[in-house]
Amino acid sequence: MKKLVIIILSLILIFSLSACSQQASETPQEPQEPGNTNADSDFKVGVIHIGNPADGSGYTYAHDQGIVEMQKALGLSDSQIIRKNNVNDTDPTATETAILECIEEGADIIFGTSWGYMDTMEALAAEYPEVIFSHGSGYKSNDSNFNNYFGRIYQARYLTGIAAGLKTETNLVGYVAAMGQDNSEVTGGINAFALGVYSVNPDAKVYVKVTNSWYSPEEETNAAKALLAEGVDVIAQHCDTPNPQLEAEKAGKFGIGYNSDMSKDAPKATLTSAIWNWGAYYTYATEQALKGNWINENYFGGMKEGLIAISPLNENIVAEGTAEAIKEAEQKILDGSFNVFDGVIETNDGSTVGEEGKTLDDATITGGINWYFKTVSVK
């Protein structure tokens, strides 16, 4: 009899546990916060590129080097990185397709590296709240899963301007620009560069040629040739390819690269380059997402954060005293005693911007510079 009771109680316990297990499996899971992923899960990172990092230089290459740095720092496998290359940022359909493919392949966070991806990322962020959307160079964001990131590249522009100002012998310095005066990112960079030139060579002029494209190898080449025809002997650039440096080298002139160290492309011409160390941001943002600690905040780093730098000076061709002049200015930027856009600044139309004893704020620098410094002319 006692044995029968034990059997009956055991059966009751088994059925009870089974019911509890079934009830637990049917209980709805709490919605996951954006990026709330454990390190041991199949976490994936998507990145949308306007070009191909295999080109080995320029804008896309610099961004992808940051992705590579992040992958190594966090120990992610190749299968956890989803790249979409050569995505035209003027084509919303192509942009949407690339982003949706990243989502379908399991991306937890997606980095869009070019300006034109902004509106599409904004729309898809609302549609896919469980995915983090992080947009480079833009200004839009939301309050949950969509932010923007960029940096104080004007700091490096100023330092490279010192190298150009000391090197020029014709006092004519060229600048290949992706966009015109209304684009604050490009125009602010030109002005910072021109201010750097002016700080060591007040007699030098900066001639600008606009391509009206973020990525156009042919137009970048043509712009450089046109500037050389104007008599410039140093060419700086805000464009993706090293073509302006290559044209400067062919002409026996000199240049200032951008995005990555372009001395590898034009070793006889490139004095130095204004460079991005995108790994500083990509590692930070991805690690936070991986740990479930991602905070929706916009990022604007500089030299102090390790996001911005200049490449090593090409000692074989820079002018004497360049290293010392740049080091002095760099230290002032780092210790906060100098901020590039300090005080009253004269423009090329005879007006002024800024105030004595003050510096332009980040909002103005990123979205409100639609003027050129007094030594700048558009050709």
Q: How confident is the model at residue 56 (pLDDT cuts 50, 70, 90)?
A: confident
Which tokens is 27 given? 């209980």
β-strands 308-310, 270-276 pairing? antiparallel
Q: Name the class of domain 153-276+308-378.
A: alpha beta
Mean pLDDT of the chain: 91
| pLDDT over 90 (residue 34) | no
**Given this model, what pLDDT does residue 41 score?**
67
Best CA proximity match to 162, nearest among 206, 201, 209: 201
Q: Which of left, alpha, beta for 117 (phi over 0: left; psi -120 to 50: alpha)?
A: alpha
**What average pLDDT does this structure show over 47-75?**
94
How many Å apart are CA 160 and CA 7, to the nearest integer?
85
**Number of residues in the chain:** 379
How many Å apart are CA 267 and CA 317, to the nearest integer?
9
Give the phi and the psi of residue 45 in degrees, each rounded to 5. Answer: -120, 125
Tens digits of residue pLDDT in 314-328: 999 999 999 999 999
In 201-321, alpha helices (H): 217-229, 243-250, 279-290
In 201-299, alpha helices (H): 217-229, 243-250, 279-290
Tens digits of residue pLDDT in 220-231: 999 999 999 999
Tens digits of residue pLDDT in 185-239: 999 999 999 999 999 999 999 999 999 998 899 999 999 999 999 999 999 999 9
**What average pLDDT does this structure show over 76-89?**
97
- Whether this prediction's pTM lies above 0.95 is answered by no
Where do the structural domains in the chain lie, given as residue ranges? 45-151+279-301, 153-276+308-378
Residue 342 is given by DSSP the state: B
Best CA proximity match to 109, nearest among 240, 281, 260: 281
| pLDDT over 50 (residue 360) | yes
- Is residue 209 within 8 A of residue 226, CB to CB? The reply is yes
Cα-based distances in Å from 194 to 47, 162, 187, 279, 377: 33, 9, 10, 28, 11
Q: Where does 42-108 show beta strands of DSSP type E? A: 45-48, 81-84
Which tokens is 14 given? 């088994």
- Is residue 378 within 8 A of residue 175, CB to CB? The reply is no
**What average pLDDT does this structure show over 38-65?**
87
Task: Give the orientation angle of helix 184-200 with respect to helix 322-335, to 10 degrees.
Answer: 130
Which tokens is 379 given? 């050709």
How many Å apart are CA 215 and CA 238, to the nearest integer?
10
Tens digits of residue pLDDT in 260-275: 999 999 999 999 999 9
- The reply to whether 45-151+279-301 and 153-276+308-378 are identical in fold is yes
CATH of 45-151+279-301 given 3.30.70.360, 3.40.50.2300, 3.30.70.60, 2.30.30.100: 3.40.50.2300
How many Å apart are CA 275 and CA 160, to the nearest integer?
10
How many Å apart are CA 349 and CA 354, to the nearest integer?
15
**Given this model, what pLDDT does residue 9 score?**
39
